[in-house]
A and B are shown apart, each in its own frame.
Chain A
Amino acid sequence: MTESRVLPTNYVTKPEDLKTSSGRTLRTDEMIINMGPQHPSTHGVLRLEIVVDGEIIVDVIPHIGYLHRCFEKHAEHMTNYQQVIPYVDRMDYVSSMNNDLGYALAVERMLKIEVPERVEYIRVIMAELQRIASHLIAVGTFGIDSGAFTPFLYAFRDREFILDLFEMTCGARLLYNYVWVGGVSHDLPPTFIDKAKEFCKYFKPRLVDFNNLLTFNEIFVKRNAKVGVLPREVAINYACSGPMLRASGVDWDLRRDDPYSVYHKLEWDVVVGKGEVGTAGDCWDRHIVRMREMEQSVRIIEQALDAIPEGNVQAAIPKRIRPDHSEVYVRTETPRGELGFYVVSDGTASPYRVKARAPAFVNLSVLPEISRGAMLADLVLIVGSVDIVLGEVDR
Chain B
Amino acid sequence: MNPTLESLIITVLLSALPLVFILVYALVTLYLEMKVAAHIQDRVAYMRTGWHGVLQPFADILKLLQKEDTIPAAADRFLFILAPYIVFVGTYAAFAIIPFTDAYIGSNIHLGVFFLIGVSSLVVIGILMGGWASNNKWSIFGAIRSAAQMISYEIPTALAVLIVVMITGSLNLQEITKFQDGGIQNWILFGGPLPLLTKLLLLPFTLLTFLILFTASLAEVNRTPFDLPEAESELVQGFNTEYSGMRFAMFYLAEYANMFVVSAVAVALFLGGWSSPFGEFMSGPVWGAFWLIGKAMVFIFLQIWIRWTLPRLRVDQLMYTSWKVLMPFLFVCLFAVGLILVLTV
Contacts and interface: CB of A to CB of B under 8 A. Distances in A.
B311 A223 contact: yes
Most buried by A among B236, B314, B315: B314
B42 A378 contact: no
Interface in B198-257: 224-225, 227-228, 231-234, 236
Interface string A354-385: 00000000000000000000011110100000
A275 B233 CA distance: 25
B190 interface: no
Most buried by A among B37, B41, B228: B41
A148 B234 contact: no
A153 B42 contact: yes
A310 to B, nearest CB: 38
B41 A149 contact: yes
Interface residues of B, number: 27
Contacts of B311: 143, 146-148, 214, 217, 219-220, 223
Most buried by A among B141, B231, B311: B311
A219 B233 contact: no
Contacts, number: 78
Interface in B113-160: 137-138, 141
Given A41-B234, A147-B224, A147-B233, A223 B313 contact: yes
B309 A144 contact: no
A201 interface: no
Interface in A297-324: none
A147 B316 contact: no
A55 B310 CA distance: 23
A205 to B, nearest CB: 14
A220 B314 CA distance: 10
B178 interface: no
Contacts of B42: 153-154, 157
Contacts of B314: 222-223, 375, 377-378
A204 interface: no
Contacts of A380: 233-234
Nearest to A145: B233
B138 A148 contact: no
Contacts of A145: 233
Nearest to B38: A153
Interface string B1-30: 000000000000000000000000000000
Given A33-B138, A376-B234, A147 B312 contact: yes
Interface in A1-50: 11-12, 31, 33-34, 39-41
Contacts of B37: 149
A79 interface: no
Contacts of B62: none
Nearest to B224: A147
Main secondary structure of the interface of B (DSSP, over half): loop
B315 A150 contact: no
A147 B225 contact: yes
Interface in A145-195: 145-150, 153-154, 157
Nearest to B138: A33
A380 B312 CA distance: 12
B137 A147 contact: no
Contacts of A31: 137
A219 B236 contact: no
B313 A219 contact: yes
Interface string B32-64: 000001001111000000000000000000000
Interface in B308-324: 308-317
B41 A154 contact: yes
A28 B20 CA distance: 48
A153 B41 contact: yes
Nearest to A214: B311
Contact of B310 (A148, A376, A378): A148
Given A148-B309, A148-B310, A219-B311, A33 B236 contact: no
A213 B37 CA distance: 15
Nearest to A152: B41
Interface string B282-315: 0000000000000000000000000011111111
B40 A150 contact: yes
B236 A150 contact: no
A245 B187 CA distance: 56
A143 B310 CA distance: 10
A34 B41 CA distance: 32
Nearest to B314: A377
Contact of B312 (A33, A34, A146, A154): A146
A11 B227 CA distance: 20
A143 B224 CA distance: 13
A150 B307 CA distance: 9
B309 A33 contact: no
Contacts of A376: 141, 234
A365 B61 CA distance: 44
B97 to A, nearest CB: 33
A176 B232 CA distance: 33
A55 B315 contact: yes
Contacts of A377: 228, 231, 234, 312, 314-315
Contacts of B227: 147
B285 to A, nearest CB: 40
A150 B305 CA distance: 11
A378 B40 CA distance: 27
A378 B236 CA distance: 15
A144 B316 contact: no
Contacts of B141: 55, 376
29 contacts: A12-B316, A33-B137, A34-B137, A40-B233, A143-B311, A144-B233, A146-B311, A147-B225, A147-B227, A147-B231, A147-B310, A147-B312, A149-B308, A150-B41, A150-B308, A153-B41, A153-B42, A154-B42, A157-B42, A214-B311, A217-B310, A219-B312, A219-B313, A222-B313, A223-B311, A223-B313, A376-B141, A376-B234, A378-B314
Given A148-B311, A377-B228, 10 more contacts: A12-B316, A39-B236, A41-B234, A143-B311, A145-B233, A147-B224, A147-B231, A219-B313, A375-B314, A378-B314
Q: Sort A-B residue pairs by CB-CB distance and give the 5 closest, nearest first.
A: A147-B312, A148-B311, A41-B233, A153-B41, A146-B311
Interface of A: 11-12, 31, 33-34, 39-41, 55, 143-150, 153-154, 157, 213-214, 217, 219-220, 222-223, 375-378, 380
Interface of B: 37, 40-43, 137-138, 141, 224-225, 227-228, 231-234, 236, 308-317
